[in-house]
Chains A and B, each alone.
Chain A
Amino acid sequence: MTDLEILEGLGEIVEEIAGVPADEVTPNKSFVDDLDIDSLSMVEIAVAAQDKFGVEIPDNQLKDLTTVQDVVNFVAKNAGDSA
């Protein structure tokens, strides 16, 4: 999985769960401040990301993943471990 593929997949997830258009889900955006996504939606995004990428994002990691790029990096780094 390339970073771009993860970014595209994440965009689809965010659009489905939070109604934010996928093309607005760009690397430097903050979920809370720019995309207006709250803590419960972040959990839903984490669950959907697990289904899509096979990478578990635990609650205690979630609070550190503030930007779209943070999630892309986390998925890219951990995809090899669980694949």
Chain B
Amino acid sequence: MTSFTTFPPAAGARIISFGGYQPANVVTNDDLAARVDTSDEWIRSRVGIVSRRYAGPDETVADMAVVAGGKALASSGLSPADIDLVIVATCSAEVAIPNTSAMVASRLGIVAPAAYDLNAACAGFCYALASASDSVRAGTARYVLVIGAEKMTAWIDPDDRSTCIIFADGAGAAVVGPVADGEPPGIGPVVWGSAGDMADKIAIPNRRSYMYQQGQAVFRWATTTLHPIAAQACERAGVAVSDLSAFVPHQANLRIIEAIARRLGVPRELLADDIVHSGNTSSASVPLTLAHMAERGDLKSGSPVLLLGFGAGMCYAAQVITVP
């Protein structure tokens, strides 16, 4: 029988740095109300969004991923040569071939890394972070650049007021690496899953159609099934909900995340609400929010933060991370 030599594993993985990027074009509720039948008051009360950013017509998912990824790489203190795996979570790339991650890696000067795109819709970043952590722990990669990048507006009907008020564009990134010997892991065990029987609730039916969602069904699913998932992620990490320094869920809709936080027992002031000025950027929302919090000094180094991604396919993933 053949015997293989495996990679030397790492005791655990941690996040080293964050980076974020938003396009320059700020779109207010009044801008949208000029085109569709809606109002600033209606949008604020239904989804909690005041403004969001739209990418320019020629700005691509890869362009945004490169800026966010470059910032995370710069603040990590590592060089491009140190990165041996690049994962881009996206569900809105302009092209399916080639994959976004290989192009992004090349533009960042990362030579010949393993590179793959990951589509778990709005849960994408948390899925990618779990995969990056596992790769580091297994030893198949030492340093991983994980990016969530989306140009949702490319798939949104500008005349559909149920979606155009919510979705937006942007990118966020994190560098993941091994913990030092004797240090505890900085990325906790993931709790993840999906509910494909509800896959028709949020969909882009074909490559020439717009995205639609059944708002009430998504709202009911998100507000009734996700808080136990989030609680389980805390339990598996050995962290009490009351010890969290922040809760950073996917920025889906302010009312959804406020309901999840309430049911989980997380005080409102610890709930990240980046959606107010960023909109819903799908898989970019969690890392973009973290990057914004890091820039503002709102993340306490060494403290536990709960992440929760969820969305189409009714995919979900939650894990506790330690702030770098």
A contact set with B: CB distance below 8 Å: 38-40, 42-44, 46-47, 59, 62
Contacts and interface: CB of A to CB of B under 8 A. Distances in A.
Contacts of B3: none
A46 B45 contact: no
Contacts of A44: 223, 259
Interface of B: 45-46, 214-217, 219-220, 223-224, 255, 259
Contacts of B259: 44
A33 to B, nearest CB: 16
For the complex of A and B, 9 pairs with smallest distance between CB atoms: A59-B216, A43-B220, A43-B219, A43-B216, A40-B219, A59-B217, A40-B255, A47-B224, A39-B216
Contacts of A47: 220, 223-224
Contacts of A40: 46, 215-216, 219, 255
Contacts of B223: 43-44, 47
Contacts of B46: 38, 40
Contacts of A43: 216, 219-220, 223
A49 to B, nearest CB: 12
Contact of A62 (B45, B216, B224, B255): B216
Contacts of B217: 59
A39 B47 CA distance: 12
A39 B46 CA distance: 9
Nearest to A17: B259
Contacts of B219: 40, 43
A43 B256 CA distance: 11
The residue among B217, B220, B224 with the most chain A CB atoms within 10 A of its own CB is B220
A43 B46 CA distance: 13
A44 B223 CA distance: 8
Given A40-B219, A40-B255, A47-B220, 11 more contacts: A39-B216, A42-B216, A43-B216, A43-B220, A43-B223, A44-B223, A44-B259, A47-B223, A59-B216, A59-B220, A62-B216
A44 B253 CA distance: 14
25 contacts: A38-B45, A38-B46, A39-B215, A39-B216, A40-B46, A40-B215, A40-B216, A40-B219, A40-B255, A42-B216, A43-B216, A43-B219, A43-B220, A43-B223, A44-B223, A44-B259, A46-B220, A47-B220, A47-B223, A47-B224, A59-B214, A59-B216, A59-B217, A59-B220, A62-B216
A39 B259 CA distance: 15
A37 to B, nearest CB: 11
A59 B224 CA distance: 14
A9 B261 CA distance: 25
Nearest to B256: A40
B120 to A, nearest CB: 24
Contacts of A62: 216
Contacts of B255: 40
A43 B224 CA distance: 10
Nearest to A39: B216
B206 to A, nearest CB: 25
Contacts of A59: 214, 216-217, 220
Nearest to B42: A38
B118 to A, nearest CB: 30
B43 to A, nearest CB: 12
B63 to A, nearest CB: 34
A15 to B, nearest CB: 16
A52 to B, nearest CB: 14
Contacts of B215: 39-40
Nearest to A42: B216
A59 B217 CA distance: 7
A39 B215 CA distance: 9
A39 B220 CA distance: 11
A36 to B, nearest CB: 10
